[in-house]
Amino acid sequence: MIEKKHITERFIKYATIDTESDPNNPAFPSTDKQWDLARVLVADLNRIGMQEVDLDENCYIMATLPSNITSKVPTIGFVAHIDTSPDFTGKNVKPKIVENYQGNDIILNEEKNILLSPDYFEDLLQYKGQTLITTDGTTLLGADDKAGVTEIVTAMEYLIQHPEIKHGKIRICFTPDEEVGKGAHKFDVDKFGAEWAYTMDGSQVGELEYENFNAASAKVTITGKIVHPGYAKGKMINSMQIANEFIASLPPEEVPEKTTGYEGFFHLHDMHGNVEQTLLEYIIRDHDLDLFEKRKYLMQRIAFDFNKRFGKELVAVAIENQYFNMKEKIVPVMHIVDLVEEVLKEMNITPIIKPIRGGTDGSQLSFKGLPCPNIFAGGHNFHGRFEYVPVESMIKATEVIVRIAEKVSEKFA
């Protein structure tokens, strides 16, 4: 159905364009290089025959596949993001193609002795006999979410080339800055004009997600006092020592490396300081809204207790909400999830319905009035040197998009 060589070449073309976003830049988009891929996509969408192709001033790309049926059916959408994570470099990505993978260790970089091994990444064993696209061990790959971008473009191209497949109006959008939490901030839901949409931003084949974390960031600023260490007794306040106590005051088992499923966590992702001042940067995550609020309260209470003990305001906690669990907005329209589950079963794909242990543009979009569950895009080990994507998984995801478009016309015509 979908030509393997064609989708591989398209993915590699997109993956080799550096689009890393920047969490410390308030500009929108946060990096100019995201425009490079945006312009390539505009050209590709025009070339395959999409209509109303538009790249706006905020680097959002929208386009339309017109309906080819006379009956009025709901307009649906598909969304993916063009940026890659700042957690690991996306510069000079050099994808490697591994044909007919046999379950062995993959040498990503012989010089640096970097291996992609099923001894550590057991999911690799699911893909024996398939074609894998990996990194060269020095960058991320960008399957998050250029696999999703590739699949949407390829699905639209296939539908245009096969007018015998009946479908209603389809809108697509590629967003910037998803990896830094801003992907939906300037998304114009009214302009998009879909009744609902799907983000193609999940991992292994079969994933279908409509729950995600409630999320907040927390900056803990600790102020100390520097005094000559030889005369410091009763005078010096070492902010780094207080920071160490603060970290130890949070539940030690409630961290990412020790939690799974619906379990929330506190994640210390950056810290730097000296005697006079230390900054701790956390993300706070929980699927349950009440537990989420309790987590935020706990951090504030610890700061209060420290300040009371020292008799002065040494610890300040600034918490900012980032996004909320989209389940609240999806449950009233569960037919949009049920439709995908039905499609997956028809295609002999086992649905894997589970909560996202992270965020997605779909969360913010759902709260902006565009219900938006998440569907697999095929990649694994996102945000690092061990990222890979099976080509066959991208083909499956593309076929799912095509079948969803057809299924909507069948159910609602």
Q: Which residues are catalytic?
A: 83, 178
What torsion, rounded to 10 degrees, do the Cα atoms 168, 41, 386, 348 define?
Answer: 20
Q: Are 10 and 142 in contact (CB under 8 A)?
A: no
Residue 219 host element (H or E): strand 214-223
Beta-carbon contacts of 371 under 8 Å, excluding residues fewer than 6 positions away, are 196, 197, 326, 329, 330, 333, 336, 365
Residue 196, classified by CB atoms within 10 Å of its CB into exposed (0-12), middle (13-18) or buried (19+), is: buried
Strands of the sheet with 132-134, listed across from one edge: 96-98, 132-134, 388-390
Q: Residue 61: which of 208, 171, 211 has the closest Cα?
A: 171
Residue type, 118: P
CA gap 12, 95 in Å, rounded = 7
Question: By three-state DSSP, how is residue 298 classified?
Answer: helix
- 304 Cβ partners below 8 Å, 6+ apart? none
Closest CA to 389 of 140, 139, 133: 133
Q: Is the CB of residue 140 less than 8 Å from the CB of residue 93?
A: yes
Kindly provide the residue ranges of all beta strands, DSSP E only, lying in 16-60, ordered along the sequence: 51-55
Write out the two tokens for 339: 């439709």
Backbone angles phi, psi at 385, to 5 degrees: -70, -15
What is the C-alpha to C-alpha distance for residues 289 and 102, in angstroms, rounded to an integer?
44
Q: Is 195 exposed, middle or buried (0-12, 13-18, 19+ CB in 10 A)?
A: middle
